[in-house]
Amino acid sequence: MRNWMTPIIYTLIGLAIFFVGIQLFTNTTGFLTSIVMMIGIAALIYGAIYFFFLRKRGFGGAAGGNRNEMKKYKQAVKQSKQKYKQPTPAIKKSPVAKAQTKASSLGRKNRKRSNAPQLRVIEGNKSKGKNRATF
């Protein structure tokens, strides 16, 4: 089946190139107009497909990473900034503002950390330990 299809495909490609050449020389403005229209329609179709389907999945971004990874990275940066934040310079505040900041900071300190690190104990062979009583 493949042997008789190959000459037909080459013939169709050759005829297409021949008629594109004839169109280019006989009706140049019409040919260029149709080429520009095809490129414009292809760009619109690609833009619509990208906007509705590919953008949500995270393909083709300038960051080069997955969207979920970017969210995790931004969250880690935010947590790091909160943990290691620098003390702000002293600004004169009214007594009402001082009371509000003290109350909010006390509430934060008393609250338990909800995302504590998960630690795992790895048990080794405890029977082979040194006997420190005998030297």
Q: What percent of the chain has pLDDT over 70?
A: 59
pTM equals: 0.36
Tell me, what DSSP letter sits at residue 42?
Answer: H
Q: Average of pLDDT values for 3-25? A: 91
C-alpha to C-alpha distance for 115 and 113, rounded to whole angstroms: 6
Mean pLDDT for all residues in the chain: 76
pLDDT band at 2 (very low <50, low <70, confident <90, very high): low
Tokens in use for 95?
Answer: 């007594």
C-alpha to C-alpha distance for 132 and 135, rounded to whole angstroms: 7
For 83-108, what is each residue's pLDDT tens digit? 887 655 555 555 555 555 555 555 55
Quickly list H helices, 27-133.
Answer: 28-49, 55-57, 67-83, 95-110
